[in-house]
Structure 1
Amino acid sequence: MITVVGSYNTDTILKLERFPVPGETVFVQGKLISHGGKGSNQAVSAARLGANVSLVAAVGNDERGTIALKFLQQEKVDTSCVKVKEAQTGSAYILLNGQGETMIIVDRGANYELVAEDLYQCLRGDVLLTQLEIREEVVRFALKEFNGLRILNPAPAELRSLDILENVDILTPNEIEFKEISNSDDMLYGAEVLLKRVKKAIVVTLGENGSVIFTKHKSVRIPTIKVRAVDTTGAGDVFNAALALFLERGYDLEQAAENANIIASISVTSYGALGPKWEEVKELLQEK
């Protein structure tokens, strides 16, 4: 089983021809409201691929929280550890331009009310997948207490202390997050610094260029397929969900990352932050 500790947000996606510059007004070309939040995205995307997934998160005691719980249950995610808080359900506002690029603003809401005590009896399974849209001390507690493979997707890359990495087996930043955490533009040097704390490996996602794996002994570039992107929202979440799934199934890290690259690439060919279902990708995975 995969346990995801993270956030749930209601996403409001605003489609624009281009991003505004400071002081400029632009008109919305389309609006979409959907389910989001890195924890929810990763849990649902893993479940769609056939994983047994439990989500540890918080929603508000409001209509959006009720809708969120119903949605997660419909997607076959175990919600027994999703807490209902006296707060508004988290929300995210996503600007999407004509090139499929995004800018995202998050109001954490109930996500920020999740505390370490909420995790008791919930840290079970073979793989833990967590992110940083909830309180850092909650993430720190989850990583320290979980008995299994621990994956940290450091997004957003706001860490008070790098000591948290000492309880991380696999770190999965994108290129920007990697530079922020390592404080270096030199990827080899930055990886060397971070691997003094991270137990096993760093997997840096590179968008259309695939990903690169750094271990203490080597670095390996992992390719992906070429697609026409229409919406890159959630691509990193889909990658992390697929990576956790294949690692739980016993694939080695390079195989798991290659499959995750492909599934994340497929996800950006349609709108929304959630990944494809297993039936949509299984033949493509077998052909590679």
Structure 2
Amino acid sequence: MNKKLEICGIGNGLIDLQYEVTDNDLKHLNLKKSQMKIVSESEQKELLEYLKDKPCHISSGGSAANSLIAFSKFGGKAGYKTVLGKDEFGEFYSKEFEELGIELSADFIEEYPTGTCVVLITPDSERTMMTCLGATGQFNVNHIDEDLIKKSQLLYTEGYKLSSEASAEAVIKSVEIAKKNDIKVAVTFSDIFITENFRDNLELVVNKSDFVFCNEQEAISFTETTNVDDAVNALKQIVPNFAVTLGQKGSLIYWNKEIIKIPAIDVKAIDTTGAGDMFAAGILYGIVKGLSMEKAGRLASYSAGRVVSQFGARLKEDHIKIKNQIVDD
């Protein structure tokens, strides 16, 4: 059957607020570098007050959202389910998705503001994130858009959505709807914070997934191993296909019972925000378009490499041009 959409994403609807900071700023704020922390509205206000004199870059975001934005810029057809606040940030988010040609299925609620993710970039290009979920944290089974799922070839979701029981229940139910309708499922672990604190919820989704995305640390944490080789072997017993990103060492993709090694491209890293999301976009594009996994991996690796060489989670280069160079090679 011909589906209207190639991918339906379920994820957080966040406004990314990006700042360049120093290690001393992190120390002053008592933050652990490179990790994501969930904060309250009052904590986020305090943080923004501290940062008010620094330049800020604003964009619509959320992990799965960033992947689907890149996916659509490669030429894919996507829909996205999320919850936003009835406020200026919610309007900004909705307008941007409309401009990008992504079918946005958003519930706008008055009781909570649109979620924000403050991304702090240190001189070593690492990113530390403080997320106030706001409206998007209220996602529950009443917000499931069954029609959006059913008209897609693949459902893609993020580990971050599993950090509350109501949200996790909605994601798990959405995955069940997908599986009942022969729709493929892919999930990204998102962060070691998720594998360490919400493992049970993550396992329920992973066990029904056709493809999993994780980095080296997340793979080791989830499989409770001590090195990436053991983690990869453990993942082979759990999920049919997966990709493990290894930073400057490239990535390992397990596809159709074979390991494919994809080298990283040589770039000077400026900001690692969005590297994993960009990588996932390339692989997802390859899966739904029927590319060889070698080509999908090269598209993913090249795009992720290019995005870390600039500031911000969105690749500023022409996605179609990049895609065509790799796909036609």
Same fold (TM over 0.5): yes
Correspondence list, 1:205-284, <5 A: 205-214=245-254, 217-275=257-315, 276-282=317-323, 284=325
How far off is 1:154 after superposition? 1.0
Counterpart of 1:285, as a letter, is I
Q: Deviations over 1:40-64 (max 9, x none)?
A: 2122111111111101111111111
Of the structure 1 ranges 20-29 and 5-14, higher mean CA displacement relative to structure 2 is found in 20-29
CA gap of 1:65–1:286, structure 2 versus 1, over 3 A, is same
Q: Which residue of 2 aligns with 1:132?
A: 159
Correspondence list, 1:1-288, <5 A: 1-18=6-23, 20=25, 22-23=27-28, 30-79=55-104, 81-86=105-110, 87-119=112-144, 120-123=146-149, 124-134=151-161, 135-146=167-178, 147-157=182-192, 158=194, 159-161=198-200, 162-198=203-239, 200-214=240-254, 217-275=257-315, 276-282=317-323, 284-285=325-326
Aligned pair count reads 286
Specify every segment of 5 or more residues in structure 1 that has no aligned partner in the other structure, as ranges. none
Distance 1:40 1:23 in 2: 31
Distance 1:75 1:10 in 2: 16
Distance 2:18 2:80 in 1: 24
Distance 2:220 2:169 in 1: 22
CA contact (8 A) 1:175 1:204 kept: yes
Q: Deviations over 1:9-32 (max 9, x none)?
A: 111111024354634799876432
How far off is 1:277 after superposition? 3.6
CA contact (8 A) 1:8 1:59 kept: yes
Q: Deviations over 1:179-230 (max 9, x none)?
A: 22112122232233333332x1121012232211236844332113212222
Of the structure 1 ranges 230-239 and 20-29, higher mean CA displacement relative to structure 2 is found in 20-29
TM-score by length of 2: 0.79
CA contact (8 A) 1:8 1:39 kept: no
Q: Report the 3-state secondary structure (helix = DSSP H, G, I; strand = E; otherwise coil) of the residue aligned with 1:98.
A: coil
Specify every segment of 5 or more residues in structure 2 that has no aligned partner in the other structure, as ranges. 1-5, 31-49, 162-166
Distance 1:131 1:85 in 2: 22
CA contact (8 A) 1:223 1:261 kept: yes
Q: Deviations over 1:67-97 (max 9, x none)?
A: 1100110111111x22212321111111101
Q: Report the 3-state secondary structure (helix = DSSP H, G, I; strand = E; otherwise coil) of the residue aligned with 1:11.
A: strand
Counterpart of 1:91, as a letter, is T
Of the structure 1 ranges 146-155 and 14-23, higher mean CA displacement relative to structure 2 is found in 14-23
CA contact (8 A) 1:132 1:139 kept: no
Q: Report the 3-state secondary structure (helix = DSSP H, G, I; strand = E; otherwise coil) of the residue aligned with 2:101.
A: coil
CA gap of 1:282–1:272, structure 2 versus 1, over 3 A, is same
CA contact (8 A) 2:15 2:59 kept: yes
CA contact (8 A) 1:212 1:220 kept: yes
Distance 1:218 1:19 in 2: 45
How far off is 1:233 after superposition? 0.6
TM-score by length of 1: 0.90
Distance 2:260 2:173 in 1: 31
Distance 2:224 2:132 in 1: 26
Give the helix-richer structure, 1 or 2.
Answer: 2
Distance 2:255 2:70 in 1: 26
Counterpart of 2:9, as a letter, is V
CA gap of 1:60–1:225, structure 2 versus 1, over 3 A, is same
How far off is 1:262 after superposition? 0.9
Q: Please, what is the CA RMSD of the aligned residues?
A: 2.4
Q: Report the 3-state secondary structure (helix = DSSP H, G, I; strand = E; otherwise coil) of the residue aligned with 1:133.
A: helix
